């Protein structure tokens, strides 16, 4: 496996309404301004083309500056930010403020970060839909929503979120939940891929050795090979590079099944 940039080797999946999202991105949760700036610059140099931030992270300005300073054409970088639940009633103002901080005229994906007060809130979703219709977000979705809450949004507004970002790792794997998202044409996006993963598990070690990679790379390849978007967070350049270096191998169906059966 190489540390050289391998951009365009990461597969994508299509979000309604025809928006391509790379299956691997860089998460920026808990990254300070300087950390986020340096991490995003490093990631884009390495070949990442998908960056995930949120208003609640407090680093949108740094992320936007790093994207601008990269010199990459805007259309080459997929950018996600999120609407915090405690400010959900001010969604029209929040999207404008996020865009101003990012220095962008639109994001590629805007998510409702959590269900406000644990409620689906179709009225909030209507504002998110309006932001998309106004060209401020190419695609829209939710994060940490249940299937029932997604169905409530669809029933009330006629618009189904294109993606649901939730915690996801081998220990979180649930075939019924995967099927429920696919039945609704909702892409599954996972965060914290390693948090509940035992990276010392002998199954991961065996599969990693067979491919000449690391257990963390096996976990990320498992996401890609099952069509789940992964956004591992790191501010360490070497780790950012290692996380991206997963294009040179694929898991067999048997290996995917074994990884899916792991416990945390």
The answer to whether 1 and 12 have CB atoms below 8 angstroms apart is: no
Query: How far is residue 26 from each of residues 36, 41, 46, 63, 201, measured CA to CA in Å?
Result: 10, 11, 11, 11, 25
Q: Which helix (H) or strand (E) holds 138?
A: strand 137-143
24 DSSP assignment: B
**Residue 190 has which token pair?**
């996972």
State the burial class of residue 133 (Cβ atoms within 10 Å of its Cβ: 0-12, 13-18, 19+): exposed
Q: Does the bond joining 17 to the residue before it have cis omega, within 30 degrees of 0? A: yes
The helix/strand/coil state of 18 is: coil
**Residue 234 has which token pair?**
């790191």
Torsion of CA 58, 141, 86, 125, to 10 degrees: 140
The helix/strand/coil state of 184 is: coil
Nearest to 26 by CA among 247, 225, 173, 235: 235
Has 145 been annotated as catalytic? Answer: no
Pick the catalytic residue: 37, 48, 57, 191? 57
The answer to whether 55 and 41 have CB atoms below 8 angstroms apart is: no
The residues pairing with 19 across neighbouring beta strands, listed in sequence order, are: 15
**What is the DSSP code string of 73-99?**
-GGGSEEEEEE-GGGGGGHHHHHHHHH
Catalytic machinery residues: 57
């Amino acid at each position: 496996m190489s540390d050289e940039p391998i951009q365009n080797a990461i597969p994508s999946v299509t979000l309604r309404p025809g928006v391509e999202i790379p299956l691997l991105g860089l998460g920026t949760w808990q990254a300070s301004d300087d950390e986020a700036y340096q991490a995003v610059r490093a990631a884009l140099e390495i070949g990442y083309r998908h960056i995930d931030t949120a208003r609640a992270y407090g680093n949108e300005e740094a992320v936007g500056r790093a994207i601008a300073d990269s010199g990459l054409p805007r259309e080459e970088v997929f950018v996600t930010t999120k609407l915090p639940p405690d400010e959900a009633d001010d969604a029209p103002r929040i999207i404008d403020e996020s865009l101003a901080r990012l220095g962008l005229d639109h994001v590629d994906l805007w998510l409702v970060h959590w269900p406000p007060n644990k409620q689906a809130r179709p009225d909030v979703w209507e504002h998110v839909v309006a932001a998309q219709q106004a060209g401020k977000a190419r695609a829209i979705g939710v994060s940490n929503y249940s299937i029932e809450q997604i169905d409530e949004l669809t029933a009330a507004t006629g618009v189904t979120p294109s993606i649901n970002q939730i915690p996801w790792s081998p220990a979180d794997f649930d075939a019924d939940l995967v099927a429920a998202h696919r039945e609704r044409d909702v892409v599954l996006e996972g965060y914290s891929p390693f948090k509940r993963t035992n990276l010392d598990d002998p199954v991961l070690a065996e599969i990693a050795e067979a491919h000449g990679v690391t257990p963390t790379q096996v976990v990320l390849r498992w996401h890609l090979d099952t069509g789940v978007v992964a956004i591992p967070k790191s501010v360490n350049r070497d780790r950012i590079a290692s996380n991206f270096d997963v294009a040179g191998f694929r898991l067999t169906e048997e290996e995917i099944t074994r990884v899916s059966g792991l416990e945390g």
